[in-house]
Structure 1
Amino acid sequence: MNKYSDTTKQFLLATKRSEIEALHQLASNCQVITFVCELIHQLQRERGISNIFLISKSTRFCEHRRKQIEASINTEEMLRSQLKAKYLQTSDSASNMRLFNLIALALQDIDHVPSLRRKIENQRLTAAQSTRAYCRVISALLAVVFEASDVASDPKITQQLVALFNFIQGKEFAGQERAWGVVGFSQSTFDKRLCERIKQLEISQQNSFKTFFEFALESDSQQWQSLESADSVEPLSQMRTMIQQLANGSPIAAEISEVWYELTTARIDKMHTVEEQLSEGLLNQTKSRVAKVEDDLLNHRKRVNTAANKLSDMDYWLSTQVTPNEDAKNTLQQSYIKTNNQTDQLTGNRAFYDLIKEQSDHIKRMELELDTAKQAFVDHKKIDRAKLLIMQEMNFDEAEAHRVIQRRAMDEQTSLMAISETIIKTAAALHKSLKSLES
C-alpha cells in the first residue's frame, strides 16, 4: 500500500487555510469600514451644521456645532485606533499597498481638519468653501472604503460590500445636496450652475441607490424602501422643484435654508439607520463565513486522514482518471465489485481525488460569482478614471468632472459607464498619436 506524502496532504489543507486567512483579512477590513462609515457620517453632520453656523455669522448652531465637533473627534480617535490595531501591528502588508496609501492620504486630510474648524470658527471661510473642504475629506475616506471593499475575496460578502459602498455613496450625494442647497438659500438666490449641481446630485443618488438595490439583501432593501416613503419624500421633492424654478436668479428668503436643512437632515438620519444595519449585517456575515470555513477545514482534515489510510498505488491511475459524469460513476461503481480490501483501497483514492475536485469546483464557483459582484467596482474605477482625465484636461474639480459625464450621458441617453469608456478610449488614442509624433 502506498501513502501520500505529508507535503501532498499539507498543500491540500493549505488551500482551505488560505481561504480562512483571506476571510480573516476581509473581516478586519469590514470592521475598519464600519468605523470609516461612522466618521463619514459625523463629518457629514459637521459639514451641514457648519454651513448654518457660517451663513448666520456665528449666531446659529454654536452649541450644536461644538457638540458635533466633539462627536467627530471621538469617532476619529476610534478609527485611528482601529487602523493601528488592524494594519500597523501585523506583518502582512504586501497585499495592502494601495489601501495603505489611500489611508495615508485620508489621514493627511483629517490632520488638517482642526485648522478648517478654526477658520470656520473665525468666519474666515464662506459656506461654499467650507462645503468643498469637507467634501474633499469625505471623498478621501470613501476611497478607503472602496479599496477595502474591492480586495474582498468572498462573493457573498463582496455583494454586501457593493451594496454598502453604493449606499454610503448615495448618502454622501444627499449630504452634498443638503450643503449646496443651504449655500443657495443663504445667498437668497440660486444661479443656473448651482441649480444644475443640485439636480445632478439628485440623479447621482438615484444611480447609487439603484446599484444598492441590485446587490443588497432583501431585508436591507425593504428597510430603505419603508423609510423612503412617499409621505416623507414629498416635502423634499417640493423644495427641489422650487430650487429648479429659481435658476433664473429670482430672490428667496434666506430663512428657508433652515427648512431645507431640517428636511434633508431628517432624510440623511434615516439613511444612517440603514447604513448601521448594513454594517452590522456585513460583520455578522464575515463572522459566519469564517466559522463555516474553519469547520470545513476540520472536516477536510478528517477526510484526508481517512482517505490516506486506504490507498492502493495499483488502483490510483484508474480511480483518479474517472471524470464526474454519470457514465464514469457507473464505471467506478462496477470497479468496486472486488474484494473488500480492493474496494477500500479504491475508495481511498477516490475520496482523496474527490476532495481535491471539490476544492477546485469551489474555487471556480467563487471566482465566477466574485467576477459578477466585482463588476460594480470595475465600473466605478472606469468612471473615476474618466473623471480624472477631465479634471486634468479642463482643470475641473471632481464634482464638475462628474457633472460633465452625467450631462453627456443624459444628452446621449446612455450610461455613465459607456461615456466613461469613450473618454478613456479617446484619451488613450490621443496619447498614442502624440507618442508616434514624438518618435
Structure 2
Amino acid sequence: MSQSPHAAHYFLAARECEISRLDNVLRAGKLIGQLSQLVHVLQRERGSSNIWLCSEGMLFGEELAHRAAAVSQSMSNLFSDLPALPPASALQPGAFRIYHRIGSMLMALESLPELRNQIHDRSVSHQRAMESFNAIIQQVLNLVYEVADIDADGQVASALVALFTFMQSKEYAGQERALASAGFASRCFSDSARQLMVELIAAQESCLNSFSGFADASIISVWSQQEAKTSEFERLRRLACTGVPGEEDTVLNWFALASQRLDMMKIVEDKLINKVMHLCQQSLQRVQSSNLDDPQTLAGVVVTPEKPLAAYFAASAHHNEADDDTGLPPQLNRSLLNLIQHQAHRLKTLDNELAGLRATLMERKTIEQAKALLMQYQGLTEEQAWHLLRKTAMNQNKKVVEIAQAMLDVSTVFTSTP
C-alpha cells in the first residue's frame, strides 16, 4: 500500500518555488539595469547626432565617437548578462516572447553601424536619424517590459510599475532633448516640431503622474527636488515650443541642461531598479530564514516512517487551545500555518495591487498594436502614428487607448486595403 502524501513535502516544495521565483526577479532586475544603461547612452548618441546633422557638421564631431564608444561598451556589458540559449530539446514554449524580444533588439542594434556611417557623412536627415534611434531604443524598452513581466508580489509589482512609467517618461525626455537640439542647431523650428515638443512634454507629465502614484515617497522626493531646479531649462523649453531659435550658443546650453536632467532621471531610474532588487532580497531573506528551516521544527515536519506529521498532534495533547484560537500545535503555528496564511494574504494583495499593473500593460500593448497598424498600412512613422492617435482622441474627447482599441476592433479594414 502506497504511503499517503504529506503536507510538509508540499509546503517545502512551495517554499523552494518561492525562492526560485524571487531568484528570477533578482536576475531580471540585474538585466533591467543593463538595459537601462544602454537606453541612456543611446539617448545621448541620438541627441548628439541631431546637433551634428543640424549644425551642418560644425558641432559635436568628436562627441559622436565618444557616444558610439559608450554604446558599444554598454552593449558588451549587456550581452554578457543575456540569458543563454538552452539546447533545442530544452526550449520552453513559455520563453517564446522573451527570446523574440531579444532577437528583435539585437536586430535593431545591428543597424547602428550603417546609421552612424550615414550620420557621419550627413547623408541622412536628422528626422530620419532620430526615427531610427527611436525605433532602436523602443526595442530595448520592449525587452525591459518583457523581462519584467514576472510573477511579482504587491510591493514589487508597484515598484515595477513606477519603474516602467519613469523609464517611458525618460525616453520622452530624451526625444525632447534631441528634437529641440535639432531646432536650436538649425535655428529653425517647424510647426510639426513645435507641436511634437508640446506632445512630448504632455506625455512626460502623464508618465510622471503615474510614477508618483506607485513610487516610494523617498524616490518621489528626490525627483521633485530636481524638478524644482530647472527654471532655465523651462525657459529654453518655452523657446522651443514657440519656435524661437535663441542665440548662437542656445543649442549648447539646451543640450547641457537637458542632459543634466536626463542624467538625474537616470539616477532616479537606478534607485527604482535598486528598490525592486531590495524588495526581492528582503522577501528572499524572509523565505530562506523562515521557521521551516528550524531543525527542531523540521525534525517532525520532514516525513519519516518513524515520525509522521500526525505525531505533532499527539505530542501536543497538553496544549491549551484557549491560548491559540487556531487550535493547532505551536510548532505548526510558527511554520506551516504561517506560510499558509502568508500565501493566502499575498495572493489577495496581488490580485488587488496588480490590477493597475495589468491595466497599464494592457493599455500600452493596445496602443502599440494600433501604432503598428498605422505604420504598416498607412505608411506613417511611429511619431506620426502616435500623433494621429492623440489627435483623434482629443477630437472625440476619448482616451488614446479607447481610440486604439476601436482601431484594432476594425483592423480588417486595414488588412483588406490594397
Q: Which bracket does the TM-score occupy, shorter chain normalised?
A: 0.7 to 0.9
Tell me if 1:358 matches 2:322: no
Aligned twin of 1:109: 108
Match of 2:276 in 1: 282
The whole-number CA distance in structure 2 between the counterparts of 1:352 and 1:100 is 39
Percent identity, please.
24
Task: State how many pairs are aligned.
Answer: 401
Q: Distance in 1 between matches of 2:147 and 2:71?
A: 22
Mapping of 1:38-437 within 5 angstroms? 38-83=37-82, 86-88=83-85, 93-229=92-228, 232-246=229-243, 255-296=249-290, 298-299=292-293, 303=297, 305-306=299-300, 309=307, 354=337, 357-358=340-341, 360-368=343-351, 369-414=353-398, 418-429=399-410, 431=412
Cα contact 2:153–2:346 (8 A) shared by 1: no
Residue type of the alignment partner of 2:369: R
Query: Residues 71, 300 of structure 1: CA spacing in aligned structure 2 closer, same or farther, 3 A cutoff?
Result: same
Is the Cα contact below 8 Å between 1:13 and 1:297 reproduced in 2?
no
Q: Residue 389 of structure 2 contacts residue 404 of structure 2 at CA under 8 Å; is this kept in 1?
A: no
Residues 362-387 of structure 1, C-alpha deviations (whole Å, 9 max, x = no match):
45225313334433222322222332
Root-mean-square deviation (Å): 3.5
Q: Deviations over 1:253-308 (max 9, x none)?
A: 66533232222222112212212222223222222222222223734886565467
**1:428 Cα offset (Å):** 1.9
Give the CA deviation at 1:410.
3.5
Following TM superposition, by how much is the alpha carbon of 1:51 offset from its aligned partner in structure 2, in angstroms? 1.7
Contact 1:48–1:178 (8 Å) recurs in 2: yes
Greater helix share, 1 or 2? Answer: 1
Deviation at 1:26, TM superposition (A): 1.4
Question: Cα offset for 1:6?
Answer: 5.5
Contact 1:310 1:348 in 2 (8 A): no
Q: 1:287 to 1:350 in 2, by over 3 A?
A: closer
Q: Which residue type is aligned with residue 258 of structure 2?
A: T
**How far 1:348 moved relative to its partner?**
8.1
Whether the aligned pair in 2 keeps the contact of 1:46 and 1:65 (CA below 8 Å) is yes
**C-alpha distance 81-278 of structure 1, shift in aligned 2 (>3 A):** same
- Structure 2, unmatched stretches of 5+, are 315-320
Give the drift of 1:52: 1.8
Call closer, same or farther: CA 1:149–1:129 in 2, change over 3 Å: same
